[in-house]
């Protein structure tokens, strides 16, 4: 089994490059990042002592526009993972047809060990170290693991101080009151919903009769559950790091009630935690991996990468998988799904709603505009549906799996821009 996320992306890239008949020179130019930048980030602890941590930014490809991608504060940095995520961002922006390139970065630090004031000084320290590498026309970071809209606000403030002028377009994912965009907080799930709905039409799935299991009940998983529930789909299983909550009757659960209970009692895996929400006779607790074995129509991985592998792919009974997480399916599992005729909407399309609305945020900041929610959602819907249909056409005409079709679309657009 391939465990290296960069090797996985490279494998998909190579298949697309074969279809596009790219020569060796093109392949080499496309598969290596433009720059891997590393700086020491220095900030003051509450004790008055100075702390230095390792900061990094991978700028993958900017042929289509400025680099764009998240920043994470995490104690471990696996450079292969960062490179693969930066590559995915470049491809995602191309598939979404937005004028942005791909990047990813962060700092090697455990934010849970920092006070709020220390976190702020770290965020400002990161900007001081990387000021010359980033900027609204060069590289625009956004939140990722353990970096929130609040962190983006501190970063914009620091960037603006150094630049000598207020520059909200230097970062996206900001809070609404601080030049953020309407709908940004749920745009990844909303975009995923638009493409899932297109697929449901192609597969003749009636929402009221379609059952869905979602792995992960964080920002993306919860919002996907909420949006799908509102559209009439039956959410029959949700999970978090502690376990799975499964509605055995397949009547559908109310995601808002689950969230309320989870917030109050802190767990999701124990059916009894949901008390009044769920009739315990009909709800059951499963162990984490079991969510993929359930007899449901659609599976949505919305937590971690590499969760559907050669080991468990055979147990999947769903008709479709919608990748809201980044890289949840390994190439070996993909091959099994292709054989079993399980349609996978790949991450570089399924979860592109987040970066699309990030681009709208950047655009609004640049134009000094604020679009209302309907305008943001109308544009997001039009774009997601258009790209779904582009990928569907390649999938049908070339007889390739949807992921290969998405890579052919994304790589082809980057090559066109480089040419
Ligand atoms: P989050 O931190 O808000 O939520 C993650 C969820 O995953 C939590 O509910 C956590 O309990 C759960 N989880 C962790 N380990 C698990 C396990 N072993 N089994 C089941 N659940 C587990 O993160 P998020 O922002 O919702 O992101 C989720 C995924 O979506 C990530 O892969 C991320 O890269 C991807 N993504 C997010 C965005 C975005 O806009 N937030 C955009 C594109 C892609």
Ligand 1, closest atom to CA 352?
43
Return d(Cα 228, Cα 283) in angstroms, integer: 20
Q: Output the CA angle 206-210-216, nearest 5 degrees.
A: 140
The residues near 346 (Cβ < 8 Å, ≥ 6 apart) are 323, 402, 403, 406, 407
* Nearest residue (CA) to ligand 1, atom 13: 241
Nearest CA residue ID for atom 30, ligand 1: 325
- The best mutation among 216, 241, 345 to test binding of ligand 1, ranked by most ligand atoms within 8 Å of the C-beta, falls on 216
DSSP state of 329: B
Can you tell me which atom of ligand 1 is nearest the CA of 220? 26
CB 60 within 8 A of CB 86: yes
Atom of ligand 1 at shortest range from CA of 305: 32
- Give this prediction's pTM: 0.95
Residue 348: closest CA among 376, 314, 378, 384:
384
Q: What is the pLDDT of residue 260?
A: 82
Q: Residue 279: its pLDDT value, please?
A: 38
Residue given tokens 């499964």 in the structure block: 246
Q: Which of 303, 323, 345, 358 to mutate to test the pocket of ligand 1 (most atoms within 8 A of CB)?
A: 303
Residue 325 C-alpha to ligand 1 middle, in angstroms?
7
Query: Strand locations in 180-263, DSSP E?
Result: 211-215, 234-240, 243-247
pLDDT number for residue 242: 76
Distance from the alpha carbon of residue 320 to the mean position of ligand 1, in angstroms: 19
Atom of ligand 1 nearest to the CA of 355: 42
pLDDT on residue 272? 40
Largest distance between two CA atoms of the chain? 64
For residue 73, give the H/E element and its range. Answer: strand 67-74
C-alpha 216 – ligand 1 centre gap (Å): 6
For the CA of 85, the nearest atom of ligand 1:
34
Distance CA 113, CA 83 (A): 26
Residue whose tokens read 């996985």: 8
Per the structure block, which two tokens stand in for 47? Answer: 């004790």
Q: Whose CA is nearest to atom 5 of ligand 1?
A: 218
* Residue 3 burial (CB count, 10 A): 10
Q: How far is the CA of 219 from the centre of ligand 1 (A)?
A: 7
Residue 284 pLDDT: 65
Question: From the alpha carbon of 328, which atom of ligand 1 is closest?
Answer: 32
What is the whole-number distance in angstroms between the Cα of residue 241 and the centre of ligand 1?
10
Short-list 208, 196, 267, 276, CA closest to 238: 267
For ligand 1, atom 2, which residue shows the shortest CA distance?
218
Name the DSSP letter for residue 174. -
Q: What is the pLDDT of residue 267?
A: 52
Residue 344: which H helix or E strand, with range? strand 343-345
Instruction: Choose one of 240, 245, 300, 328 to mutate for the ligand 1 pocket test, by most ligand atoms within 8 angstroms of C-beta.
Output: 240
Residue 217 alpha carbon to ligand 1 centre in Å: 7
Give the separation between CA 260 and CA 276, rounded to whole angstroms. Answer: 11
Distance separating alpha carbons of residues 142 and 34, to the nearest angstrom = 19
Q: Tokens at residue 381, please?
A: 């819907």
Q: In this structure, how many other beta carbons lie within 10 angstroms of the beta carbon of residue 26?
A: 17
How many Å lie between the centroid of ligand 1 and the Cα of residue 132? 31
Say how far apart CA 396 and CA 148 lie, in whole Å. 40
pLDDT of the chain along its 419 residues, tens only? 346 888 999 999 999 999 999 999 999 999 999 999 999 999 999 999 999 999 999 999 999 999 999 999 999 888 888 999 999 999 999 999 999 999 999 999 999 999 999 999 999 999 999 999 999 999 999 999 889 999 999 999 999 999 999 999 999 999 999 999 999 999 999 999 999 999 999 999 999 999 999 999 989 999 999 999 999 999 999 988 877 888 888 889 889 988 887 777 655 554 444 433 343 345 566 777 889 999 999 999 999 889 999 999 999 999 999 999 999 999 999 999 999 999 999 999 999 999 999 999 999 999 999 999 999 999 999 999 999 999 999 999 999 999 999 999 999 999 999 99
List pocket residues of ligand 1, CB cut-off 6 Å.
188, 215-221, 239-241, 288, 302-304, 324-326, 351, 354
- Give catalytic residues, as residue numbers: 104
pLDDT of the residue at 283 = 59
Q: Which residue of 220, 241, 328 sits with most ligand 1 atoms within 8 Å of its CB, as the best mutation to test the pocket?
A: 220
Cα–ligand 1 centroid distance for 218 (angstroms): 6
């Amino acid at each position: 089994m391939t465990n290296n996320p960069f090797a996985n992306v490279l494998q998909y890239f190579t298949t697309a490059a074969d279809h596009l008949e790219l020569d060796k020179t093109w392949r080499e130019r496309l598969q290596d990042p433009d720059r891997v930048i590393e700086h020491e980030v220095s900030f003051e602890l509450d004790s008055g002592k100075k702390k230095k941590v390792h900061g990094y930014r991978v700028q993958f490809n900017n042929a289509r526009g400025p680099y764009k991608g998240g920043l994470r504060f995490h104690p471990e940095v696996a450079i292969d993972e960062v490179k693969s995520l930066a590559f995915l961002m470049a491809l995602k922006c191309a598939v979404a047809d937005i004028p942005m390139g791909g990047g990813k970065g962060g700092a090697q630090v455990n934010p849970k060990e920092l006070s709020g004031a220390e976190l702020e000084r770290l965020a400002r320290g990161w900007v001081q170290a990387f000021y010359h590498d980033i900027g609204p026309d060069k590289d625009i970071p956004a939140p990722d693991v353990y970096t929130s809209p609040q962190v983006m606000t501190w970063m914009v403030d620091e960037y603006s101080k150094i630049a000598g002028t207020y520059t909200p377009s230097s970062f996206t994912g900001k809070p609404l009151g601080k030049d953020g965009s309407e709908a940004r907080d749920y745009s990844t799930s909303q975009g995923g919903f638009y493409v899932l709905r297109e697929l449901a039409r192609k597969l003749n799935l009636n929402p009221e009769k379609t059952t869905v299991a979602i792995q992960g009940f964080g920002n993306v998983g919860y919002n996907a559950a909420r949006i799908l529930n509102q559209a009439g789909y039956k959410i029959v299983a949700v999970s978090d790091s502690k376990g799975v909550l499964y509605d055995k009757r397949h009547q559908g659960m109310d995601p808002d009630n689950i969230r309320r209970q989870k917030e109050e009692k802190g767990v999701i895996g124990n059916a009894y935690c949901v008390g009044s929400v769920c009739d315990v006779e009909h709800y059951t607790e499963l162990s984490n991996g079991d969510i993929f074995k359930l007899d449901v129509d659609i599976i949505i991985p919305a937590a971690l990468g590499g969760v559907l592998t050669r080991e468990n792919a055979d147990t999947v009974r769903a008709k479709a998988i919608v990748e809201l997480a980044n890289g949840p399916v390994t190439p070996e599992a993909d091959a099994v799904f292709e054989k079993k005729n399980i349609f996978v909407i790949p991450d570089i399309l399924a979860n592109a709603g987040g970066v699309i609305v990030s681009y709208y945020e950047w655009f609004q900041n640049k134009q000094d505009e604020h679009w209302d929610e309907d305008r943001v959602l109308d544009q997001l819907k039009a774009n997601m549906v258009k790209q779904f249909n582009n990928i569907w056409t390649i999938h049908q005409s070339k007889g390739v799996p949807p992921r290969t079709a998405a890579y052919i679309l994304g790589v082809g657009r980057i090559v066109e821009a480089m040419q």
